[in-house]
Chains A and B, each alone.
Chain A
């Protein structure tokens, strides 16, 4: 505050408020991040822990085809999940926004989402497995059984399921603020419904679409649980790779490098987002 106060008073006030939280962030966010960065340049020790020498070898490894493939798969999952979320979620956002009972509908949308994440993921496993519901349903028509699980399809489906509300919410916010008069103006000027929508309504929802896409794409790319449970080793995403380095494979240095790689990509996406939407958009996103 600019308030009249002694320098000591000022210092004390800042210390008491920002101090504890700030210190926590420095210790538990900044320091670990720096450690990861440092570790990425180290090497695998005898027990998989870290040791010298320093070097860029981990990054060289990251760029090997095997790992790039995992990265590419992650991107693919992210992109497809975003696309499917958009197909499912965009019309839904409109439906909810125009509905008189929209509060209730929003609540119902979020309810499954707010119950445990893990439960929702394994539920799909149950549905998609050989003896699962989907196959049972198809068998009634004489089809299948198919190996829906484990597969890329299962991973994708569950990812969409998990992150769908993330897409709907920002789009919903956009739709709520929509100026419908633009649509009327378009009709008035002779545009037919589809074109009118395309030119008058859709552009207004771009911010929401962007936000929703980013909110789905980034977590979808980085998740490992879904791929782990529903891919059962067949689908390896970058999140899984990282987890493995700290688990079974025990190469912390390499895992750190992979994390830095993933983080770099996330930050890049956010930077691009901020460039397009401006600083304010970034804040709203968060």
Chain B
């Protein structure tokens, strides 16, 4: 039984890694199409680096990711704090509202944001679809995730610690800065990391909220693939996969160390 399970597991893992490995392999393939390995080459990588648009898309992706992560982490952390500590009218409603970006299929989210921006353009004259609208869209789904992650961490926090701080003379912000935040930090960091990952990876919401000049890497890959698969895209993908894998492995090694 054990061996059967092991064999099955092996097959599944192979299934999971196969496509990626193929892409990596093909990125070094001399031939433009087909899978027959005709020769090793770095041409495609060269072409990639020589393409100025790719650099622009890369920067766009990073910009969107960092800005949106920053904003959503701040918003989400504060919101989580408020939800956990205070009671106020409409709290239940807000919590359900929070679940929507998490649960809703990407398409619907993208569509709703598109409508929002169109409506805003009608009523206020702005914004046109651009990198800004992409960032706004990303923040929206990131906030929900960050809030939920930070909230679960805050719930583990002993309220007596904050009470002790207030008892000893710490005012609102002081309590937050010296006690709550340091203790909630792992949750905040995890939330921020999650938000970053979601943003870098996002396609659908970006698709609906991006205007001309606001292309990100996932968008570029999509349109390239629609035109026809090119090894240049393979090269780009390999690089992305490599970088992601590297950082993830790093994160994994670090997290094991802390134990």
Chain A residues with CB under 8 Å of chain B are: 1, 3, 9-10, 13-14, 16-22, 24-26, 28-33, 35-36, 39, 49, 88-89, 91-92, 94-96, 103, 107-112, 114-120, 122-127, 129, 131-133, 136, 161, 164, 193, 218-219, 221-225, 229, 239, 242-243, 246, 252, 255-256, 259, 262-263, 266-267, 270, 286
Contacts and interface: CB of A to CB of B under 8 A. Distances in A.
A282 B224 CA distance: 39
Nearest to A267: B103
Given A242-B108, A270-B103, 18 more contacts: A1-B86, A3-B166, A13-B172, A18-B79, A19-B82, A21-B75, A25-B79, A29-B97, A36-B111, A39-B115, A109-B13, A115-B20, A115-B244, A116-B244, A119-B20, A122-B229, A136-B34, A259-B111
A163 to B, nearest CB: 12
Q: Is the interface of A mostly helix, strand, loop or mixed?
A: helix
Interface residues of B, number: 86
Nearest to B217: A116
A28 B104 contact: no
Contacts of A120: 19-20
30 contacts: A9-B172, A18-B86, A21-B75, A22-B94, A24-B75, A25-B94, A25-B97, A29-B101, A35-B116, A35-B119, A88-B12, A88-B15, A91-B8, A92-B9, A114-B201, A116-B218, A116-B237, A120-B20, A123-B237, A126-B19, A126-B23, A161-B19, A219-B105, A219-B106, A223-B106, A239-B105, A243-B107, A259-B107, A262-B108, A266-B104
A3 B241 CA distance: 51
Interface in B75-133: 75-76, 78-79, 81-83, 85-86, 88, 94, 97-108, 111-116, 118-119
Contact of A126 (B9, B26, B99, B140): B26
Contact of A242 (B23, B107, B218): B107
A218 B75 contact: no
Nearest to A89: B12
Contacts of A133: 22, 35
Contacts of B106: 219, 222-223
B14 to A, nearest CB: 11
Contacts of A129: 229
Contact of B240 (A96, A119, A127): A119
A242 B20 contact: no
B148 A286 contact: yes
B36 interface: yes
Nearest to A23: B75
B115 A252 contact: yes
A218 B104 CA distance: 9
Contacts of A28: 113, 116, 136-137, 139-140
A132 B35 contact: yes
B244 A17 contact: no
B143 interface: yes
B248 interface: yes
Contacts of B18: 127
Interface of B: 1, 5-6, 8-9, 12-13, 15-20, 22-23, 26, 33-36, 74-76, 78-79, 81-83, 85-86, 88, 94, 97-108, 111-116, 118-119, 136-137, 139-140, 143-144, 147-148, 166, 172, 197, 200-201, 203-204, 208, 217-218, 221-222, 225-226, 229, 233-234, 237, 240-241, 244-245, 248-249, 252, 256
Contact of A32 (B74, B82, B113): B113
B102 A286 contact: yes
Contacts of A127: 18-19, 22
Nearest to B18: A127
Given A115-B245, A116-B237, A36 B100 contact: no
A161 B12 CA distance: 10
A133 B57 CA distance: 30
A125 B53 CA distance: 24
A80 B107 CA distance: 21
Contacts of B244: 114-116
Contact of A229 (B79, B111, B225, B249): B225
Contacts of B204: 224-225
Contacts of B85: 1, 17
Contacts of A29: 97, 100-101, 140, 144
B176 to A, nearest CB: 9
A18 B86 CA distance: 9
- Most central of A17, A26, A94 by chain B CB within 10 Å: A17
B252 A36 contact: no
B5 A32 contact: no
